[in-house]
């Protein structure tokens, strides 16, 4: 049997421990130090995000977004059901009612066409999740949000270095994901394209109204950030908050990855394109479908997935690959069908989400994977279908 190929493997650029040691030697270990500032500035400059704050996880960044939305009990938040639990949990913890939306037929993203029918006088927020780093239909979502005076929080956890191309600009101008909604959250968990040493995240504030409060919530409800900038001469408790900022050693780790972002992205994209090219003939024969990248979206090579015709065929493919040492894995169970939420769900049919829960499979995708590995995996897949 060939060497086993895991589903994911975190990549080290080589500078992580050097920068972590530098962070330790400065004697300032807590958050909001030099490496944190460097990382935040990188995102602000490269993607034009108004204000960035590093967080200890993507989940924490989503929780900050939910706190900033200032929800009252009974306020409603529209969220896709085919997503990670944190997207829903962040808003449930604030006392909001989660209203699950179905996915599109063409890909797992929130179906913007169904949003309008879910809006009530209590609706306050729409949360598009850019699944696999592929943009949701943002013009439509922002138009609906503006017309109903709603906030938009982008769950961009998987969407670093990915773009939306507005049909209004003939699909030409690139808008970075995370720069379109009022607020956005990224994740630097070890399974994402870049990591802050295992766990990490980023809050993006695009609407200036939220900047001051975001800094306060970040720093345990105090105006410490203003104090450090010399804007006030003492700091204290001024609002709600928690401890959302990561230690400097995590920011130092992330900095090493950011320095190599282009290199990481270019390698991942070449792996993604190899998968696509080699599996296209099988997709054309109808054995499965390949990832859908709409004309308005870019691909950031976060994930390579296949959609099988049914659950049995997916199980057979996963087993066949596993028998040959290759770890392919399914993804979310729809949140509305989860043990925690099924009794609370209003019974609406979310059949596209359930279909992705049963039929989507993710293939190995990580920087240290080689083109030859991808070729081997694709050859093995074809063995299952072409006898």
Ligand X SMILES: *Cc1c(COP(=O)(O)O)cnc(C)c1O
Query: Could you list the residues that contact ligand X (CB under 6 A)?
Result: 57-59, 83-84, 86-87, 129, 155, 157-158, 187, 189, 201
Helix or strand holding residue 199 (H, E) = none
CB 54 to ligand X: min, Å: 12
Question: How many whole angstroms separate alpha carbon 360 and alpha carbon 373?
Answer: 21
Q: Whole-number minimum distance, CB 110 to ligand X, in Å?
A: 11
Provide the minimum distance between the beta carbon of 3 and ligand X in the complex, in angstroms, as a whole number. Answer: 28
| In the complex, minimum distance from the CB of residue 183 to ligand X, in angstroms, rounded to a whole number | 14
CA distances from 53 to 90, 188, 358 (A): 17, 13, 36
Our CB check for ligand X shows the closer of 235 and 341 to be 341
Indicate the residue among 303 and 377 with the shorter CB distance to ligand X.
Answer: 303
Q: Report the nearest approach of ligand X to the CB of residue 1 (Å).
A: 31
Q: Closest CB to ligand X among 191 and 206?
A: 191
Nearer to ligand X, 97 or 189 (CB): 189
Give me the residue label for tokens 């093995």.
Answer: 380
CB of 158 to ligand X, least distance (A): 5
Give the span between the Cα atoms of 359 and 355, in whole angstroms: 6
Alpha helices in 206-286 (DSSP H): 211-218, 224-228, 248-259, 261-284
In the complex, residue closest to ligand X by CB: 58
The SS3 call for residue 237 is strand
Query: 160-181: b or e for each residue (b if 16 or more CB lie within 10 Å)?
Result: bbbbbbbeeeeeeeebbbbbbb
If one counts every other C-beta atom within 10 angstroms of the C-beta of residue 208, the result is: 10
Alpha carbon 132 to its chain centroid, in Å, reads: 7
Phi, psi of 305 (to 5 degrees): -120, 160
C-beta of 144 vs 203, nearer to ligand X:
203
> Which lies closer to ligand X via its Cβ, residue 57 or residue 274?
57
């Amino acid at each position: 049997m060939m060497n086993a190929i895991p589903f994911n493997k975190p990549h080290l650029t080589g500078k992580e421990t050097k920068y972590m040691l530098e962070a330790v030697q400065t004697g300032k270990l807590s958050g909001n130090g030099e490496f944190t500032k460097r990382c935040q500035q990188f995102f602000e400059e490269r993607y034009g995000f108004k204000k960035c704050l590093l967080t200890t996880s993507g989940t924490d960044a989503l929780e900050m977004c939910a706190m900033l939305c200032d929800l009252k009990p009974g306020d409603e938040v529209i969220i896709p059901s085919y997503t990670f639990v944190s997207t829903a949990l962040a808003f449930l913890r604030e006392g909001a009612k989660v209203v699950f939306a179905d996915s599109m037929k063409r890909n797992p993203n929130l179906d913007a066409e169904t949003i309008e029918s879910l809006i009530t006088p209590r609706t306050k927020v729409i949360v598009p999740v850019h699944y696999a780093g592929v943009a949701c239909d943002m013009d439509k979502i922002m138009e609906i949000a503006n017309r109903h005076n709603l906030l938009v929080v982008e769950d961009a956890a998987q969407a670093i270095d990915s773009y939306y191309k507005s049909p209004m600009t003939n699909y030409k101008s690139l808008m970075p994901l995370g720069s379109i909604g009022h607020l956005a959250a990224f994740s630097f968990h070890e399974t994402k394209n870049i990591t802050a040493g295992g766990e990490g995240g980023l809050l993006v504030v695009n609407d200036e109204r939220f900047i001051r409060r975001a800094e306060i919530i970040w720093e345990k409800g105090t105006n410490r950030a203003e104090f450090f900038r010399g804007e006030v001469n003492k700091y204290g408790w001024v609002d709600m908050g928690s401890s959302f900022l990561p230690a400097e050693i995590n920011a130092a780790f992330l900095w090493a990855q950011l320095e190599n972002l282009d290199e990481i992205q270019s390698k991942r994209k070449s792996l993604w394109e190899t998968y696509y090219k080699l599996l296209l003939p099988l997709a054309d024969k109808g054995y499965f479908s390949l990832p859908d990248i709409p004309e308005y979206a870019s691909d950031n090579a976060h994930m390579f997935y296949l959609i099988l015709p049914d659950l049995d065929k997916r199980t057979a493919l996963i087993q066949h690959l596993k028998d040959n040492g290759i770890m392919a894995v399914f993804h979310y169970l729809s949140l509305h069908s989860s043990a925690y939420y099924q009794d609370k769900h209003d019974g609406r049919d979310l059949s596209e989400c359930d279909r992705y829960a049963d039929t989507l499979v993710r293939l190995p995708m990580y920087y240290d994977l080689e083109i030859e590995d991808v070729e081997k995996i694709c050859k093995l897949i074809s063995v299952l279908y072409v006898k």
